[in-house]
Structure 1
């Protein structure tokens, strides 16, 4: 099983089917908050939906195409994070994440994104890590910017979000840039 300790408070653990109840509960508790930027909330209405999501995550992990973890804060699941895509031919990974509303403002996601970026370059030997965020999602964009990711541009109308399109800002970090700033 994949477990990655970040610090005394935080660690990442490969998502498992037995995490479904807690992940679904967190989704329900933060539904209104998360819905602003995540397109899958309306199609996640039962625990079975979360189990199907987790099954897909485990399939992606077994095929070495993705890595989805639960974020453990003081041993409690507070969200998910990982690599939505791993492209081995281009040595790239795309980080995705969400955090329960109750745990916002503690620096959790910045530490998680930093740890994932570190893991990507040191353990997976990737050359580039991307973080994509909706243009108006200042909290998510702030994570990439705090970590020194470069704004590489805008993908116009990149995602359908319930009743409208949103542009995505693509942030990138190269292995040599990460190593220089470490």
Structure 2
């Protein structure tokens, strides 16, 4: 079982069937909050929907195409962070994430995402990490900005979100940029 210790408060656990009830409950408790930026919320109405997500996540992981983890904050499920896709040919990981409403403002997502960035470069030997967020989603955009990602551009009408199109901002971090940041911290 994949578990990655981030720090004394946070660990990332490979999502599995045993997480279905907890993840669905967290989704359901934060439904109104998460709905603003996540198009799948209205399609996640019962635990079976979460089980289907977990099955798809496990298949993606088994095929080395992605990785979804449950963020554990002091042992409690707080959200999901993962590689929505790993493009092995071009050595790029695409990170996606969400956090339950009650876990906001504690630096959890910044630390969890940093751990996945580090893992992508140190363990998977990837060349680039990509994060995309809706232009108006300030909380989601703040994660790559805090972590030193470069804003690379905007995708017009990048996502259909509850009947309207939203533009996306694309952020990227190259391995050599990550290495420079880590060298300056040492």
Task: State TM-score, norm by structure 2.
Answer: 0.97
* Map of 1:142 onto structure 2: 142
Name the counterpart of 1:130: 130
Say if 2:108 is the partner of 1:108.
Answer: yes
* 1:13 alignment partner, SS class: strand
User: Matched residues in 1 for 2:39 and 2:179: separation?
Assistant: 34
Structure-2 residue corresponding to 1:63: 63
Residue 149 of structure 1 deviates from its aligned partner by: 0.2
Instruction: Tell whether 2:176 aligns with 1:176.
Output: yes
Distance across 2 between alignment mates of 1:112 and 1:169: 20
Distance apart, 1:63 and its partner CA = 0.2
Gaps of 5+ in 1: none
Output the CA distance in 2 between the equivalents of 1:155 and 1:119. 27
Counterpart mapping for 1:7-86 below 5 A: 7-86=7-86
What secondary structure is seen at the aligned counterpart in 1 of 2:176? helix
2 CA distance for matches of 1:166 and 1:30? 22
Q: Deviations over 1:59-78 (max 9, x none)?
A: 00000000000000011111
SS across alignment from 1:165: strand
Q: Residues of 2 paired with 1:163 and 1:103: CA distance?
A: 28
Distance 1:77 1:29 in 2: 12
Q: Which runs of 4+ in 1 moved over 4 A?
A: none
Matched position secondary structure for 1:49:
helix
In 2, distance between residues paired with 1:143 and 1:80? 14
Shift of 1:163: 1.5
- Residues of 1 paired with 2:16 and 2:99: CA distance? 17
CA shift digits 1:99-156 (9 cap, x unpaired): 0000000000000111110000000000000010000000111111010100000000
Could you give the per-residue CA deviations for residues 62-96 of structure 1, whole angstroms, max 9, x where no partner exists? 00000000000011111010100001000000000
2:118 aligned partner: 118
In structure 2, the residue matched to 1:5 is 5
Q: Secondary structure at the match of 1:82?
A: strand
Distance in 1, matches of 2:140 and 2:45, equals: 25
Aligned residues: CA RMSD: 0.4
List gaps (5 residues or longer) in structure 2.
none
For residues 162 and 139 of structure 2, the distance between their equivalents in structure 1, rounded to whole angstroms, comes to 20
